[in-house]
């Protein structure tokens, strides 16, 4: 029996069974659905992309996987070299892993050990944002600020080594002033907090964070697992403000295979590079640098570049703003838009209860959560398909005045 994610198994409704997928569409036995959430924001090229399929098939003829412990292979080397050339600044050193959560864990582990290697043993604290989500592994839950993790607080209490702040410059400055000599890093989802409620904030906050991290010798970590590869309307937010450590996942492989990478700058890398074996990074996921994942990631980046995906993303934002700006309903608290993301936040979660089935019947797959109805569409979506997604969202509020539906 499958134990499904984020569900109370006793009361969950049956999931939709997918029998095929192609382009932006998911197919059940009785319905054709536009995937408005890109399979948790990862399938940026759509499904069954011929070039991505071919990249995997070509690699598969050689081998599917070898470990990176004592071995290496061309696909991992090529992907690492491509990221070194493609990413901003001196974000040159790639540590691969098999999921975004693990890659964030690696980033936090690197940040802590960086200071331990330098005998700065008081640097045990992490600064993070309120409403943060950085994954579901155990230690990462302490850095996150998700209400679904409250059982951890009940069991262990709040972590003494994590401080959460709002996205306000005054709070940022006050916290650095109080804790700077104990912080090893400040980790953020830059500009767009995904699973924490699609919360969006201004670049000025990140610019000030970079200044304070430089001033107080604190590492700045960008978790761009969700925001990377154009989702905010920027290729990477790291192009605007340069972090010390960057984490990528989800769209890295175009949604084909779980894979992620933690990328460090030269300063961080050199904090591990010496003759002392205890200063090595002792971490090694079995499937890090998986050959199939690296091959499809390389092709995914090539398509992103050659087909001008940033233009596609800007067009998605343009259409979304044109269609949604000015739309209102007394049950809606706020409509937020950024890049290829739109979120409708409602006051009462009951307002969007039943929306998933409503959308299904109209040919759209959606997955609202808590008080948030959102879309993060594949970048290859056509205008008429995007309009169908947006009109379905609007139709729910226009047609259903009864919030119990």
Supply the residues annotated as catalytic: 6, 133, 223, 250
Q: Which of 249, 238, 293, 4 is nearest to 134 (CA)?
A: 249
Residues 212, 207: Cα–Cα separation, whole Å: 9
Q: Which of 377, 353, 383, 382 is nearest to 365 (CA)?
A: 377
Task: Please enumerate in sequence order all residues whose Cβ is within 8 A of that of 32, keeping only pairs 6 or more positions apart, or say none.
Answer: 25, 26, 363
Q: Which of 261, 231, 399, 249 is nearest to 329 (CA)?
A: 399
Which stretches of 20-136 are assigned E, i.e. beta strand? 20-22, 25-27, 32-35, 93-97, 125-129
Beta bridge partners of residue 336, listed in sequence order: 343
* Pairing of the two strands 32-35 and 25-27: antiparallel
Query: Coil, helix or strand for 371?
Result: coil
Q: Which helix (H) or strand (E) holds 390?
A: helix 383-399
Cα 192 from chain centroid?
9
Written as six digits, the tokens of 126 are: 């992490």
Residues 21, 29: Cα–Cα separation, whole Å: 12
């Amino acid at each position: 029996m499958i134990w499904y994610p984020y569900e109370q198994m006793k009361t969950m409704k049956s999931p939709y069974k997918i029998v095929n997928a192609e382009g932006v569409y998911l197919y059940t036995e009785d319905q054709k659905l536009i995937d408005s959430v890109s399979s948790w924001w990862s399938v940026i090229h759509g499904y069954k992309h011929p070039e991505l399929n071919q990249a995997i098939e070509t690699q598969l003829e050689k081998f599917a996987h070898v470990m990176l412990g004592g071995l290496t292979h061309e696909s991992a080397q090529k992907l690492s070299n491509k990221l070194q050339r493609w990413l901003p600044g001196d974000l040159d050193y790639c540590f691969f892993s098999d999921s975004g959560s693990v890659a964030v864990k690696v980033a936090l582990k690197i940040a802590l050990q960086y200071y331990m290697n330098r005998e700065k043993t008081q640097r045990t604290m992490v600064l993070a944002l309120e409403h943060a989500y950085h994954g579901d592994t155990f230690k990462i839950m302490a850095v996150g600020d998700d209400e679904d993790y409250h059982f951890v607080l009940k069991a262990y209490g709040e972590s003494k080594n994590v401080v959460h702040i709002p996205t306000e410059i005054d709070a940022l400055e006050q916290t650095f002033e109080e804790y700077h000599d104990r912080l090893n890093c400040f980790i953020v989802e830059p500009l767009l907090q995904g699973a924490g409620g699609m919360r969006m904030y201004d670049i000025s906050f990140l610019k000030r964070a970079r200044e304070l991290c430089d001033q107080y010798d604190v590492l700045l970590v960008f978790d761009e697992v969700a925001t990377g590869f154009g989702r905010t309307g920027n290729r990477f937010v790291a192009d605007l403000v340069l972090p010390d450590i960057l984490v990528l996942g989800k769209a890295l492989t175009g949604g084909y295979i779980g894979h992620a990478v933690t990328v460090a700058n030269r300063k961080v890398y050199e904090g591990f590079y010496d003759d002392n074996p205890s200063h090595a990074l002792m971490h090694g996921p079995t499937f890090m640098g998986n050959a199939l994942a690296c091959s499809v990631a390389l092709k995914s980046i090539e398509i992103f570049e050659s087909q001008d995906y940033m233009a596609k993303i800007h067009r998605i934002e343009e259409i979304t703003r044109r269609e949604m700006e000015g739309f209102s309903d007394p049950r809606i608290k706020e409509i937020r838009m950024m890049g290829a993301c739109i979120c409708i936040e409602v006051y009462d979660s009951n307002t969007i209860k039943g929306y998933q089935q409503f959308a299904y019947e109209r040919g759209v797959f959606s997955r609202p959560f808590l008080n948030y109805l959102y879309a993060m569409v594949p970048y290859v979506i056509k205008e008429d398909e995007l309009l169908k997604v947006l009109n379905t969202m609007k139709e729910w509020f226009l047609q259903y005045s009864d919030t119990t539906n």
